[in-house]
């Protein structure tokens, strides 16, 4: 029987990785990811998990080890944040085009400078285009479930891609929540052993990671892009099967009180819980406000998102990332380009909030909705607005 326990989300994620029977775990510590890898190394040390925990000398080495491990045919997991994720950056592009499955939980954190250990999404947005499948968790249960789902999808021979599960640093990673930890038997049913089509094996020698001359490079990248697009089908299928076994159903885009809504907030990650509270409060005031939460970020669920908008007239997109000098935040830009010149598309306003651990409160969400409503009447001068900046 699965058990429901009060547990720190990081520990629960580590338990999920254990239930997934991960085999190689190269990791380097960085706040707020530390509790995940500490607990994993404990599980290995206690013999609860039969795996190799590689205490590498840097995140770049962690990702490099992951490539070797996956290529050799082992189920591979790592975890990182911010500066660590960026140190991996050179390598992150490689397992994805090489189609090496692995799972990484990123405990999202702000990028230096100034150095900050607190939460926003700048670290992962820098890595937006690395060609990994990416999901965002809203709460602890989802973090656990998405981690199991990630292994299943990444290793599916029809997919064969690395997978990042994003969880908000501290606001998710370090809180204690009631979480249902699945049964080993059920996890085994959901997640068959990793059997890659190709691996490094002297009995069947292959060359992995060759030079891509101009005559083949484009095709290699297009093949990767096609694999990403095709992956959506298997992501959805795995969520269906997950629901059958575990009773919890996940969708690429989650709608909250969107029926008859005129204004929709658009969020990713754990601030969505506060956003729901704000929506409830605004609904109580008679405002026709709803919420769209993007769970699947890559491949972007274009159809599902378009459908989820319904008849809304205004979208207020909240980014947790401020790219200086850009047109707007990355999620805002994505949605603007998705809906550009679509007949009847809503007006889209882009907001940036919650940088470096700044709380995004119910009041802030109300402010965002109010602003979006005003902007819909009178076009704002700027293409985005940063919310909650102190005047002094």
The contact set with other proteins (CB under 8 A) reads 23-24, 26, 50-52, 54-58, 60-61, 64-74, 76, 90-91, 94, 193, 200-202, 204-213, 216
Instruction: Write down the least CB distance from residue 79 to other proteins, Å.
Output: 16
Strands laid side by side in the 163-168 sheet: 77-80, 103-108, 163-168, 133-136, 296-298
Of 55 and 178, nearer to other proteins (C-beta) is: 55
**Diameter of the chain measured on Cα atoms:** 69
Instruction: Write down the least CB distance from residue 90 to other proteins, Å.
Output: 6
User: How do strand 3-8 and strand 176-181 relate by DSSP bridges?
Assistant: antiparallel
Q: What are the CA-CA distances from residue 138 to residues 70, 154, 370 (Å)?
A: 28, 21, 24
Of 204 and 392, nearer to other proteins (C-beta) is: 204
d(CA 76, CA 205): 21
d(CA 29, CA 172): 17
Of 161 and 339, nearer to other proteins (C-beta) is: 161
Q: Is 1 exposed, middle or buried (0-12, 13-18, 19+ CB in 10 A)?
A: exposed
Per-residue burial over 270-308, b = 16 or more CB atoms within 10 Å of its CB, e = otherwise:
bbbebbbebbeebeeeebbbbbbbbbbbbbbbbebbeeb
Instruction: Write down the least CB distance from residue 224 to other proteins, Å.
Output: 14
Q: Is 210 helix (H, G, I), strand (E, B) or coil?
A: coil
Of 97 and 139, nearer to other proteins (C-beta) is: 97
The residue with tokens 């029977």 is: 21
d(CA 147, CA 149): 5
Q: What are the CA-CA distances from residue 41 to residues 10, 28, 29, 47, 53 (Å)?
A: 13, 11, 11, 10, 6
Of 61 and 281, nearer to other proteins (C-beta) is: 61
Of 102 and 322, nearer to other proteins (C-beta) is: 102
Q: What is the 3-state secondary structure of 282-304?
A: HHHCCCCEEEEEECEEECCCHHH
Of 23 and 304, nearer to other proteins (C-beta) is: 23
Of 66 and 276, nearer to other proteins (C-beta) is: 66
**Residue 167: its H or E element:** strand 163-168
Of 2 and 89, nearer to other proteins (C-beta) is: 89
d(CA 80, CA 74): 20
């Amino acid at each position: 029987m699965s058990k429901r326990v009060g547990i720190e989300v990081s520990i629960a994620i580590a338990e999920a990785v254990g239930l997934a029977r991960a085999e190689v775990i190269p990791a380097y510590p960085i706040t707020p990811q530390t509790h995940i890898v500490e607990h994993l190394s404990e599980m290995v040390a206690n013999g609860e998990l039969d795996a190799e925990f590689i205490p590498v000398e840097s995140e770049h080495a962690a990702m490099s080890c992951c490539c070797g491990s996956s290529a050799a045919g082992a189920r591979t997991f790592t975890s990182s944040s911010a500066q660590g994720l960026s140190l991996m950056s050179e390598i992150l592009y490689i397992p994805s085009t090489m189609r090496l499955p692995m799972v990484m939980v990123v405990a999202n954190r702000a990028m230096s400078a100034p150095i900050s250990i607190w939460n926003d999404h700048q670290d992962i947005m820098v890595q937006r285009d690395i060609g990994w499948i990416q999901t965002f968790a809203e709460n602890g249960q989802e973090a656990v479930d998405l981690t199991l789902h990630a292994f299943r999808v990444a290793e599916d021979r029809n997919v064969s891609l690395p997978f990042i599960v994003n969880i908000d640093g501290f606001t998710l990673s370090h809180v204690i929540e009631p979480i249902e930890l699945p049964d080993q038997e059920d996890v085994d049913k959901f997640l068959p052993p990793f059997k890659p089509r190709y691996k490094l094996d002297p009995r069947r020698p292959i060359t992995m990671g060759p030079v891509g001359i101009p005559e083949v490079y484009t095709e290699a990248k297009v093949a990767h892009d096609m694999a990403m697009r095709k992956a959506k089908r298997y992501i959805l299928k795995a969520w269906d099967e997950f629901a059958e076994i575990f009773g919890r159903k996940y969708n690429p885009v989650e709608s909250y009180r969107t029926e008859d809504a005129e204004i929709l907030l658009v969020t990713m990650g754990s601030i969505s819980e506060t956003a729901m509270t704000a929506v409830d409060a605004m609904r109580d005031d008679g405002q026709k406000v709803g919420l769209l939460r993007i769970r699947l970020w890559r491949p972007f669920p274009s159809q599902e998102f378009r459908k989820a908008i319904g008849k809304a007239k205004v979208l207020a997109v909240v980014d947790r990332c401020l790219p200086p000098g850009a047109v707007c935040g990355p999620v805002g830009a994505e949605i603007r380009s998705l809906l550009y010149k679509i007949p009847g598309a809503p007006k889209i306003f882009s907001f940036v909030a919650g940088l470096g651990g700044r709380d995004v409160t119910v009041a802030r969400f109300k402010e965002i909705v109010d602003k979006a409503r005003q902007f819909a009447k009178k076009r704002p001068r700027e293409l985005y607005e940063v919310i909650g900046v102190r005047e002094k």
